[in-house]
Structure 1
Amino acid sequence: MNCDLQLLHWPAEDRASFGRFIAVMADVQARIQAISGEASGVPVPRPPRVPTPRECAAMILKRRRDVRAIAGGDADMFGDPAWEIALAVFHAEGNESDAALLEMAGLSPSGQVGERWIRLLLARDWVERRDDGHLHATEKMLTILNGYFTRP
């Protein structure tokens, strides 16, 4: 209250300048509170969520299936079976049958192409078949794909 009474003795120009200063400082305080999360109602930009490596694998698989669907009869021009099967195994985390993995990779579950590439992935120690009968990513493949998807 004493401050308010002392302002009465200031010249009008100084009181106006002080009023503007108070308004600017109140705005600064509101912005600081908004950034620190103490005030509501002011949107604070957040960095985008970085997808997990498994989510990246799922996105790539979906885009590759989309390209094959668009290409129709020329879908074989976009083939890379080892990569697609590896992504499918990585994304599925061992919860899918071979047929489901091949379908996820855009390959025929009854064809020999997928079986041949699965044998190669097993031989190169990218995948392993565990007791449950499903394919699982090995540490080698996890290291390679996690490194690929988390690389800046």
Structure 2
Amino acid sequence: MTSEIRLLHWPAEDRASFGRFTAVMADVQARIHAISGESSGVPVPRPPRVPTPQECAAMILKHRRDMRAIAGPDGDLFGDPAWEIALAVFQTDGRESDAALLDKAGLSATGIVGARWIGLLLARGWVERDEDGYLRATEKMVTALNRYFNGL
């Protein structure tokens, strides 16, 4: 209250200037609260989180597997084994067996189709085996798929 009484002795121009200053500071404080996640204040729009290329690969692979499941016995009509194996390898950390990757790609781990496509991906330099025998994406695959997913 003492500070309010002192304001009465200020010239009208100074009181008006002080009023504008406090209004601006209140707006700044509200924006700071909004940015910091406080429930009060002016909401600040935030851009959506952009998924990583590996998350994109996982999402596409899931949609492809869902389509095969919907098609039932005709699911093989909607397959592209090389693409699905490439997506499965790309989204992993390189520590999964061939059988796990084929399963992730929606292919039979016991069939020859998966082994044949893995052989082609190895021969063309899209995947390679590490010292433990696990498949991992080559620089060629990483570059191509990063370029693809970043362009979506």
- TM class by shorter chain equals 0.7 to 0.9
Distance in 1 (CA, whole Å) between partners of 2:103 and 2:32 is 52
CA contact (8 A) 1:34 1:44 kept: no
Q: What is the correspondence of 1:57-96 to structure 2 with a 5 Å cutoff?
A: 57-96=57-96
Gaps of 5+ in 2: none
Equivalence map 1:33-52=2 (5 Å): 33-37=32-36, 40-42=38-40, 43-52=43-52
Structure 1 residue aligned with 2:31: 32
Letter in 2 for 1:93: D
TM-score by length of 2: 0.79
Asked if residue 55 in structure 1 is aligned to residue 55 in structure 2, the reply is yes
How many residue pairs match? The answer is: 145
What percentage of residue pairs aligned between the two structures are identical? 58
What secondary structure is seen at the aligned counterpart in 1 of 2:131? coil
Letter in 2 for 1:74: D
Aligned to 2:138: 138
Letter in 1 for 2:7: D
- Unmatched 5+ residue regions in structure 1? 11-16
Q: Distance in 2 between matches of 1:45 and 1:54?
A: 26
Give the alignment's TM-score, normalised by structure 1. Answer: 0.79
SS of residue paired to 1:128: strand
Output the CA distance in 2 between the equivalents of 1:3 and 1:22.
17
Match of 2:119 in 1: 119
What is the alpha-carbon root mean square deviation over aligned residues? Answer: 2.8
